[in-house]
Every structure is written in C-alpha cells, then in structure tokens.
Amino acid sequence: MGVTAMEYPRFDLTGQVAVVTGAARGLGRAIALALAHAGADVALGLRDVHADSGLAAEVTAMGRRALWKRRRKNSGDWTFS
C-alpha cells in the first residue's frame, strides 16, 4: 500500500495572510499547508517556534512566507517572530 499525495481544495488566496493556531501538528498543520497551497502566506500559531516539525520549510518551499506567531506566557498577547 503506497502513500498518496494530498489533494488540496481549489481556491485562491494569493496576496492574503492566514493565521493558523495549533499549526505544529494534526488538523492545524493540514490547514496551514492547504492555505499555503492556495497562495496565502501563513502565520503559524506555535507554543514553541522551534517545534514546527518542518512546517515552515514546507510552506516556504511552496513559495510562501511562514511567519511564526507565539503566545506570551501568562498573557493574551501574541508576538510575531
């Protein structure tokens, strides 16, 4: 049984920026990749900017920008790295 390529929805987000929280794994990761495939730059909501499991590299390999978004401890504020 071989691995099949993921098919992405067909819509255009060129020139847009999408924010995806919980982007490091699972559904958040899949959503981030789909949005990048559709043309959006993606702000990745991560607890630890060093634990993206290669997601930023995958997004940039599609020709999109990957912005790291990190939540400040004990605060509702978010900062971009």
pLDDT in tens, 60-76: 999 999 987 665 565 55
Whether 49 is covered by a domain: the verdict is: yes
Whether 31 is covered by a domain: the verdict is: yes
Whether 63 is covered by a domain: the verdict is: yes
| Cα–Cα distance, 48 to 25 (Å, whole number) | 12
The reported pTM is 0.74
The tally of domains found in the chain comes to 1
DSSP label at 68?
Answer: E
Strands (E), 1-81: 17-21, 41-46, 66-71, 78-80
Tokens standing for residue 6? 């993921």
Q: pLDDT by residue for the chain (81 residues), tens digit each?
A: 555 666 766 789 999 999 998 888 899 999 999 999 999 999 988 877 677 789 989 999 999 999 876 655 655 555 554
Residue 47 near residue 68 (C-beta atoms within 8 A)? no
Domain range enclosing 38: 17-73
Residue 10 near residue 37 (C-beta atoms within 8 A)? no
Sequence-distant (≥ 6) Cβ neighbours of residue 14 within 8 angstroms:
38, 39, 40
